[in-house]
Structure 1
Amino acid sequence: MTARPEPLSRRERPAKPALTRSGIVSTAVRIMRAEGLQRVTMRRLAKELDTGPASLYVYVANTAELHAAILDELLGEVDLAPATEGGDWREQIEAVLASYSHLLGQHPSLAHSALVARPSGPNYLNLLNALLALLSQGGVPDDQAAWGVDTLLQVATASAAEHAVQDDSPSTEKEWEAVAAAVENASATEVPHVAALGSELLSGTPQMRRTWATQMLLNGILHTPRPTS
């Protein structure tokens, strides 16, 4: 008579680590780095953590909040050192924004998500604080700095999203070539200003254009009072 296999006791299984918000976000970041942000769903995350999706909603309200938390986690990699090293405040702001843009450029899907994500964690606050300190150093009035820092990050985010390489979209380069061709061949009769400035519209390296955009914004922030109610 064949002996029946001895059943395994559930008590002998190793206990699953307790769920925490930081643990959930760290796992989400790991999945994003390996598979891309599009794979970071509640269902995929629950599978990785050996739990049910419903359990995650106790810590993260929805996917949008999860993406914002991922962004805040990665913002810890932004180089804020220029804000404390001294030197020209404009160049320091440009250096911080360049580090921010570079971070988003490494994660194209995150760069696009950052356009609507609303991070609120410590790394986002540190980034805001560094930029506000530099604006204050440059003599920007507090109320203008408070609005201006938002505009600086909006433009840097949009620029990073625009130039992010889309691995899942091989037609991106062709799309840019089509835009360039349309500008270069614009009709002097129908769109005379585009035709006249065609070469200028397409001129400059991305770095040159980012530097000019930052300086243009800083000049505006410094010299444009906020409207009164």
Structure 2
Amino acid sequence: MTAAPRSRRERPAKPALTREGIVAAAVAILRAEGLRKVTMRRLAQELDTGPASLYVYVRNTDELHAAVLDELLGTVGPAPAEGDWRERLEKVLTAYTEMLFAHPSLARSALTARPSGPNYLRLVETLLGLLDAGGVPREQAAWGVDLLLQHATATAAEHAGEESPDEWQAVTRALREASAETHPHIAAGAGALLSGTPEARLSWAFRALLGGIERTAVPGAGADPAAGSH
């Protein structure tokens, strides 16, 4: 016996579209299928709607990816209460890097994505607060946050793909077998070039950058803007 067709009025109404719901669905697709699948068409299919209806809430795929990044920035916890300001800042940056490590495709996109949501603002505010606690001048702190996040993002993006053991072995062999006659500095420092764990190198990089940010003045900082140039 054939079932009678079901009236549209008997079907449960679809939940209204919201930007928050769209971003949440995009994050779910990212976790399950990777960022490449986070498209307007795939998202519309997931939400049982047409792609055109999504553009009311998100202008384009780039804005969608930036919103996804901002959503995941919410998983980066606040600065720990223990430790000096440098240690606390390093832990926040490490947590940010680890979040990107967990989502390799997003790590590459984060190099050009421009998040502007509440979680991004909270992260920047946290970093600026820690730099202020360390007595870093405001202009240097402002430029320094950009530099620190760039390095963390680039590090995650560099290791986002599946690293080929053959390629790494080729690099290692090239450095270790470099001729002292043609490449004396490489030959003398091959061990140092290849030393250290990724975690140790990331920690050192953050500390090295912080040292530079503390000591390097921003060009023109403190100058009277009304004075103009001569």
TM-score (norm 2): 0.90
**Deviation digits for residues 174-209 of structure 1, max 9, x if unmatched?**
222222222112232332222221111111111111
Hey, what does 1:203 align to over in structure 2?
195
- Comparing 180-189 with 103-112, greater Cα deviation is found at 180-189
Letter aligned with residue 64 of structure 1:
D
Hey, what does 1:123 align to over in structure 2?
119
Hey, what does 2:14 align to over in structure 1?
16
Residue 67 to residue 29, structure 1, CA distance change in 2 (3 Å) = same
Whether 1:45 and 2:43 are equivalent positions in the alignment is yes
Alpha-carbon distance, 1:86 to partner: 4.6
Three-state SS of the structure 2 residue aligned to 1:59 is coil
Paired residues for 1:146-165 under 5 Å: 146-164=142-160
Which structure 2 segments of 5+ residues have no match?
A: 221-228
Q: Provide the C-alpha distance between the structure 1 equivalents of 2:2 and 2:159, rounded to a whole number of angstroms.
A: 64
Q: Provide the C-alpha distance between the structure 2 equivalents of 1:64 and 1:182, rounded to a whole number of angstroms.
A: 39
Alpha-carbon distance, 1:10 to partner: 2.1
**Deviation digits for residues 56-111 of structure 1, max 9, x if unmatched?**
111111111111111100100102132xx153111011111111111111111111
Residue 5 to residue 72, structure 1, CA distance change in 2 (3 Å) = closer
Contact 2:79 2:89 in 1 (8 A): no
Which structure 1 segments of 5+ residues have no match?
A: none
Three-state SS of the structure 1 residue aligned to 2:127 is helix
Identity level (%): 65
Q: Provide the C-alpha distance between the structure 1 equivalents of 2:55 and 2:114, rounded to a whole number of angstroms.
A: 18
Contact 2:40 2:54 in 1 (8 A): yes
Q: Provide the C-alpha distance between the structure 2 equivalents of 1:138 and 1:159, rounded to a whole number of angstroms.
A: 25
TM-score (norm 1): 0.91
Runs of 4+ in 1 over 3 A off after TM superposition: 3-8
Q: Provide the C-alpha distance between the structure 1 equivalents of 2:100 and 2:199, rounded to a whole number of angstroms.
A: 15
Q: 2:175 aligns with which of 169, 177, 183?
A: 183
Q: How many residues align?
A: 221
